[in-house]
């Protein structure tokens, strides 16, 4: 992927400088699977008759909520650490995140014995701070929002390697392994629906679908309250947008260049759903699929339930990307 000498520069400049960086390709996803094979088993994908009935079409739920960190991102974190040299691991990493990316990098650093610092905005949830510290990371609370946390993380670039959650090719290649599992299980899917924050998951889905299931449409979904990735895709350029969703995994205020480049080439559709539709889909997963999803993990199903006519008669995979729902959301599911 990128030359290792460029590591500090490339990641430290948080996406401003990857003109020099090759976009990930399908073979990188295959290589990531080899790197992950001894550390993560494949996750299940199930369908549920009552869910099919509610959706009006066969729906397959890919269960990334059962990963050891509760979200799909750990595939990327472990791939990144596996790709680093022993010297880079000794030096350690710093990243910025509100939650699941933090846990992914913390978990991967613990597996590979690398020092890990995570900068979170001061508003980060108690549960996610505790979970990240639980994996052995040092957590610093800095800044009112993600941009503030990013800035504080980049100030540590002299000390540690800075990992951008969206513009790091190894993360994109690693999360692509979920889509290898999906298309190897069901080559006959008509659509796979993927929730988007930075867009690495959807971009990876595009790479794998293009290679294994070119007939299958990849459909991205974001909250209408935080449409930066959607609007970036529509504009053909990365844009900044208001970031008002309460759905943590989807909460980003800007487009990320690396995933956007892939999405521009391959993505079939990009849909927006409301936070209320996402909450409703979270309840349906609880009652119809024995599944505790966080909001972001229910967004793909929300898009299907929001437009049943568009999906009628099609075989649709929805990725339940994560299960790290905060306490107040769990209480509200009943
Ligand atoms: C990060 C995250 C997403 C969005 O993934 P991107 O690769 O950033 O687009 C979706 N769901 C969950 C649970 C997440 O943690």
Delineate the domains of the chain, giving CATH numbers in brackets: 27-72+169-332 (3.40.50.1100), 74-163 (3.40.50.1100)
pLDDT score at 145: 85
198 CA distance to ligand 1 centroid (A)?
7
- Region at 76 (left for phi over 0; alpha for psi -120 to 50; beta for the rest): alpha
Cβ–ligand 1 contact at 186 (below 6 Å): no
The distance of Cα 194 from the centroid of its chain, to the nearest Å, equals 9
Cβ–ligand 1 contact at 200 (below 6 Å): yes
Structural tokens at position 256: 């990320």
Phi, psi angle pair for 235, to nearest 5° = -80, -20
Structural tokens at position 65: 């909520």
Mean pLDDT for 64-78 is: 98
pLDDT higher than threshold 60 for residue 8: no
99 CA distance to ligand 1 centroid (A)?
10
Distance in angstroms (rounded) separating the CA atoms of residues 95 and 174 = 17
Distance in angstroms (rounded) separating the CA atoms of residues 131 and 102 = 9
pLDDT score at 18: 40
Q: Are strands 269-273 and 59-63 parallel, antiparallel or unpaired?
A: unpaired
Strand partners, 77: none
- Index of the ligand 1 atom closest to the CA of residue 172: 7
Probe ligand 1: pick from 250, 295, 301, max atoms within 8 Å of CB?
250
- Index of the ligand 1 atom closest to the CA of residue 322: 13
Distance in angstroms (rounded) separating the CA atoms of residues 258 and 66 = 27
- Index of the ligand 1 atom closest to the CA of residue 201: 7
pLDDT score at 9: 34
Strand partners, 96: 119
- Index of the ligand 1 atom closest to the CA of residue 165: 8
Q: Is the dihedral of CA 8, 12, 15, 16 positive or negative?
A: negative
Letter string b/e over residues 295-319, b meaning 16 or more CB atoms within 10 A of that residue's CB = bbbbbbbbbbbbeeeebeeebbbbb
Mean pLDDT for 126-146 is: 93
pLDDT score at 88: 94
pLDDT higher than threshold 80 for residue 10: no
Distance in angstroms (rounded) separating the CA atoms of residues 221 and 288 = 21
The distance of Cα 74 from the centroid of its chain, to the nearest Å, equals 9
């Amino acid at each position: 992927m990128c030359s290792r000498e460029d590591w500090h520069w490339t990641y430290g400049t948080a996406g401003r400088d990857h003109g020099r960086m090759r976009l990930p390709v399908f073979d990188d996803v295959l290589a990531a699977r080899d790197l992950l094979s001894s550390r993560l088993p494949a996750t299940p994908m199930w369908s549920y008759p009552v869910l099919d009935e509610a959706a009006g079409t066969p729906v397959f739920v890919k269960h990334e909520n059962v990963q050891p960190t509760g979200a799909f991102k750990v595939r990327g974190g472990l791939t990144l650490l596996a790709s680093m040299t022993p010297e880079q691991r000794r030096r350690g990493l710093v990243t910025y995140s509100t939650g699941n990316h933090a846990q992914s990098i913390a978990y991967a650093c613990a597996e590979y014995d690398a020092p890990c610092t995570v900068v979170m905005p001061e508003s980060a949830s108690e549960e996610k701070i505790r979970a990240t510290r639980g994996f052995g990371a040092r957590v610093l609370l800095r800044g009112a929002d993600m941009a503030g946390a990013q800035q504080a993380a980049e100030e540590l670039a002299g000390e540690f390697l800075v990992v951008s959650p969206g513009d790091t090719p190894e993360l994109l290649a690693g999360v692509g392994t979920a889509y290898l599992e999906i298309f190897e299980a069901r080559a006959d899917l008509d659509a796979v629906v993927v929730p988007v924050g930075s867009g690495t998951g959807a971009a990876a889905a595009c790479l794998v679908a293009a290679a294994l299931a070119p007939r299958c449409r990849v459909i991205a979904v974001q909250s209408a309250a935080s449409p930066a990735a959607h609007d970036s895709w529509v504009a053909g350029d990365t844009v900044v947008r208001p970031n008002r969703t309460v759905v943590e995994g989807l909460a980003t205020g800007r487009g990320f260049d690396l995933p956007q480049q892939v999405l521009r080439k391959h993505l079939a559709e990009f849909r927006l759903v409301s936070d209320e539709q996402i909450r409703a889909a979270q309840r349906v997963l609880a009652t119809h699929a024995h599944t505790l999803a966080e909001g972001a993990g229910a967004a793909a199903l929300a898009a299907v339930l929001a437009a049943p006519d568009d999906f009628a008669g099609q075989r649709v995979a929805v990725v339940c990307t994560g299960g790290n729902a905060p306490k107040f959301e769990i209480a509200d599911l009943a």
